[in-house]
A = this chain, B = another copy of it.
Amino acid sequence: MTVGQRPLGVAVLGLGNVGTEVVRILHESADDLAARIGAPLELRGIGVRRVAPDRGVPVDLLTEDIEGLSARDDVDIVVELMGPVEPARRAILTALRHGKSVVTANKALLAQSTGELSDAAESAHVDLYFEAAVAGAIPVIRPLTQSLAGDRVLRVAGIVNGTTNYILSAMAETGASYTDALADASALGYAEADPTADVEGYDAAAKAAILASIAFHTPVRADDVYREGITKVSADDVKSAHALGCAIKLLSICERITDADGSERVSARVHPALVPLTHPLASVNGAFNAVVVEAAAAGRLMFYGQGAGGAPTASAVMGDVVMAARNRVQGGRAPRESKYAQLPIAPIGVVPTRYYVSLHVSDRPGVLSTVAAEFARHEVSIAEVRQEGMVDEDGQRIGARIAVLTHRATDAALSETVAALKDLDVVSTVASVLRMEGTEE
């Protein structure tokens, strides 16, 4: 192992929670890492926005010259943990063009990529790894690109955003409103000061794009992903879901849609959904993540663990660093990005799912039949319906609530049904429309 004797230089870009843990592991596990790789790793520098003496690392390792560090001759592997898109993109391209292998956890960048990064890695014959970009410590990228490389993935459905899962879990546990649960999550550090990226589903959509791309060998960008956040999920919705034996979860779903002529399209979407309590995703609570993969031969697989946080994310990053380092010592490459299938993206309108629709209606005979007729007219088949009286604070009857659970229908058919329901005299409000996942019908 003559080649192995030469130390490999590592540059870390970004010193937040994850970067700090990566630097700690590089230091504390140096001997183990060297034994596993066949060469020692040496930390050459840490790129930061502002060099300061109180960062908990030797100050002479810090530099504000991100580009310079990424191109340094004695650096073999660049670990990008800065987020968001720029200056990360520029730094990664610089590193790749200078022949460095790159490990990144930057889901926003990867999900808007048009293949620029993978092309640059391919041209330079170096590795681009990104296991930490989806679901933190949970191995998801590697199982999809390697373990299932000989199978046919049909569907990937996951809870991949810890903040929203924490909020929805809290709503289910305490009966709190969305606003109160969000406030608690912020106070406890589970939600950021500006929670938009999480609660509006942007983060989950970026991850869905990455998952769909690798699962279906097709370029899918964040913009291709249909996206609904959790801001409209009410305490009533959570209660109704529970009455139906379901939890409400924000799911990232990627699936193959087979059209009538046998041709295939890819659907990628993020939205809250009712999930039966018996489904493995229903019991994934708090800040945990889980991803369920369905493949033709493997059947249903589930991966579960901590989807965020400094140490868990650093675990995924370090796995990639060791693999990139081994490849440099022993020769070899990560599987390159595979986009051969080039399947078209299916618009949300054609994607069939089950729906839960809750209506406030007049409390008089014949209403249920009128409502049911409207579903039938749009060819949306009803699986289950439930009607109950609504009373005001004084116990006076003020109308009724009708909850409908449909069989599978397209988004387009359901939207037309809902629009028509709103026009009915007997319907005062369409209180909520939620998809249901994880059942066969």
Contact of A312 with B298 in the complex, beta carbons under 8 Å: yes
Contact of A297 with B280 in the complex, beta carbons under 8 Å: no
Contact of B143 with A139 in the complex, beta carbons under 8 Å: yes
Query: B142, B146, B301, B321: which contacts A137 (Cβ < 8 A)?
Result: B301
Stretch at the interface among A174-182, A334-342, A408-416: A334-342
Nearest B residue to A333 via CB reads B332
Residues of B within 8 A of A320 (CB): 150
Within 8 A of B (CB), among A127-171: 131, 137-139, 142-143, 146-152
Nearest B residue to A148 via CB reads B319
Contact of B306 with A303 in the complex, beta carbons under 8 Å: no
- Interfacial residues, chain A to chain B (CB-CB below 8 A): 21, 25, 29, 32-33, 35-36, 131, 137-139, 142-143, 146-152, 217, 280, 295-306, 311-312, 314-323, 326-327, 330-333, 335-336, 338, 340-341
Contact of B150 with A146 in the complex, beta carbons under 8 Å: no
Nearest B residue to A302 via CB reads B304
Residues of B within 8 A of A148 (CB): 139, 315, 319
Extra contacts besides A139-B143, A150-B319, A331-B333 (4): CB < 8 Å: A35-B341, A143-B143, A147-B319, A297-B318
Output the least CB separation between A354 and chain B (Å). 24
Contact of A340 with B36 in the complex, beta carbons under 8 Å: yes
Residues of B within 8 A of A338 (CB): 35-36
Query: B32, B305, B327: which contacts A298 (Cβ < 8 A)?
Result: B305
> In the complex, what distance in Å separates the CA atom of A147 from the CA atom of B306?
14
Contact of A297 with B321 in the complex, beta carbons under 8 Å: no
Output the least CB separation between A257 and chain B (Å). 18
Residues of B within 8 A of A131 (CB): 147
Output the least CB separation between A33 and chain B (Å). 7
Residues of B within 8 A of A296 (CB): 311
Output the least CB separation between A173 and chain B (Å). 15
Contact of B149 with A36 in the complex, beta carbons under 8 Å: yes
Contact of A35 with B217 in the complex, beta carbons under 8 Å: yes
Output the least CB separation between A11 and chain B (Å). 16
Question: Given that A29-B152, A150-B322, A332-B333 are known contacts, is A301 also in contact with B138, CB under 8 Å in the complex?
Answer: yes
Output the least CB separation between A181 and chain B (Å). 23
Question: Given that A150-B318, A319-B146 are known contacts, is A304 also in contact with B305, CB under 8 Å in the complex?
Answer: no
Query: B149, B297, B300, B333: which contacts A311 (Cβ < 8 A)?
Result: B297
Question: Given that A297-B314, A333-B332 are known contacts, is A139 also in contact with B138, CB under 8 Å in the complex?
Answer: no
Contact of B138 with A317 in the complex, beta carbons under 8 Å: no
> In the complex, what distance in Å separates the CA atom of A142 from the CA atom of B148?
11
> In the complex, what distance in Å separates the CA atom of A140 from the CA atom of B318?
18
Question: Given that A139-B147, A146-B319, A297-B21 are known contacts, is A152 also in contact with B32, CB under 8 Å in the complex?
Answer: yes
Output the least CB separation between A88 and chain B (Å). 21
> In the complex, what distance in Å separates the CA atom of A305 from the CA atom of B304?
12
Residues of B within 8 A of A335 (CB): 323, 326
Residues of B within 8 A of A151 (CB): 25, 315, 318-319
Contact of A299 with B312 in the complex, beta carbons under 8 Å: yes
Nearest B residue to A303 via CB reads B303
